[in-house]
Amino acid sequence: MAMKRERGRKPKKKVCSFCVDKVTSIDYKDLPKLRRYTTERGKILPRRISGNCAKHQRQMTLAVKRARNIALLPFTAE
């Protein structure tokens, strides 16, 4: 018996929230925004999940790492 392949709709492309707000740079001191892009374990969310463009994903990753180094964000959450 051959199974029919279900054709669903493609998921909607996520839009970079930084591009929508026309943000030029991401500040490492903006903790509420940075926490939005980390998991509850403290890992940085990948682009395919967060919906960021490549440019803003790089800036956001750098900002999270800077915030971790000066102890604004934890390296791991337990």
22: left (phi > 0), else alpha (psi -120 to 50), else beta? left
Query: Which uninterrupted H or E stretch holds 31?
Result: helix 31-36
Q: Confirm whether 10 is domain-assigned.
A: no
Q: Judge whether residue 6 has pLDDT over 80.
A: no
The per-residue pLDDT for range 24-71, each reduced to its tens digit, is 999 999 999 999 999 999 999 999 999 999 999 999 999 999 999 999
Tally of domains in the chain: 1
Q: What is the pLDDT of residue 9?
A: 78
The domain that holds 56 is classified in CATH as: 4.10.640.10
Choose the most confident range, by mean pLDDT, from 6-10, 28-32, 73-77: 28-32
Q: Judge whether residue 10 has pLDDT over 90.
A: no
Residues 55, 63 contacting (CB under 8 angstroms): no
Q: Please state the φ and ψ torsions of residue 75, each to the nearest 5 degrees.
A: -70, -45
Q: Confirm whether 55 is domain-assigned.
A: yes
List beta partners, residue 25.
none
Range of the domain at 32: 25-70
